[in-house]
Chain A
């Protein structure tokens, strides 16, 4: 199993450009998440999708939009990139959101390293 796959792995944008980060999971998980990680910092939750058809804001949603395309795929869009969005972006999935025990274990992708000039 591939687990959680993120594309692209690296991206350089100019200020004002737009792009979509793709995430797909093959574990039949209900819940998916987008985090960002700045140098020397922990992960901060941008958006999550508890189940297909639902999305909710996390800690730092401004400047981003998300789409839960189907159960497998959860994309993150930057409409007008800014230098402050330079970061490493991680997608994760879990069997449930707010469930108990093993159902809440998150599985992470390898990340997308984004630079906005």
Chain B
């Protein structure tokens, strides 16, 4: 099963873009990349997913490299409410690692 690697923590100033990287070098050709976030101790919340092309929704943008070995979640204008743990997972693996703790400060 494909696994992912994320930095343990990142900081971002409020109003700036937050770029969260994820490495998934063993991803298979038909596996999707999904991003979730967990605020405090709530249940994780789905953000966005993608296969090959870049994706955008009302919450974020997802940039996937051409070789699909890594991706970046972009929160274009981070707010204090975006402070959370962000998880990148590959569709069939169902492995949520420790994720990246994003701290947004004013």
Q: Taking beta carbons and an 8 Å cutoff, which residues of A are in contact with B?
A: 4, 33, 35, 40-45, 48, 58-59, 88, 90, 92, 98, 100-102, 104-111, 113
Q: Is the CB of B98 within 8 A of A104?
A: no
Binary contact track B25-36/A, C-beta < 8 Å → 1, others 0: 000001010101
B 63-106 binary contact with A (CB < 8 Å = 1; else 0): 00000000000000000000000010001101111110000000
What is the chain B residue whose CB lies nearest that of A59? B95
CB of A22, distance to nearest CB on chain B (Å): 15
How many A-B pairs have beta carbons closer than 8 Å: the answer is: 56
Q: Which of A40, A45, A100 contacts B32 (CB 8 A)?
A: A100
A102 touches B94 (CB 8 A): no
B-side interface size class: 20 to 34
A111 in contact with B42 (CB, 8 Å): yes
Nearest chain B CB to A57's CB is how many angstroms away? Answer: 12
Distance in Å: Cβ of A48 to nearest Cβ of chain B: 7
Q: Which B residues are closer than 8 A to A by beta carbons? A: 30, 32, 34, 36, 41-46, 49, 51, 87, 91-92, 94-99
**Majority secondary structure, B binding face:** loop
B87 touches A42 (CB 8 A): yes
Contacts of B46 in A (CB 8 A): 105-107
Least CB distance from B21 to A in Å reads 17
List 5 A-B pairs, minimum CB-CB distance, nearest first. A108-B43, A43-B96, A42-B96, A42-B98, A42-B97
**A110 and B42 within 8 A (CB):** yes
User: Is the Cβ of A100 less than 8 Å from the Cβ of B91?
Assistant: yes
Query: Looking across the interface, which residue of chain A has its beta carbon closest to that of B92?
Result: A98
Q: When the two chains form their complex, are residues B98 and A41 in contact, meaning their CB atoms are under 8 A apart?
A: yes
How far apart sit A113 and B42, CA to CA, in the bound complex (Å)?
11
Contacts of A42 in B (CB 8 A): 87, 95-99
Residue in A4, A44, A88 whose beta carbon sits within 8 Å of that of B41 in the complex: A88
Residues of chain A within 8 A of B41, CB atoms compared: 88, 111, 113
A92 to B41, CA, bound (A): 15
Cα A88 to Cα B44 in complex, Å, equals 12
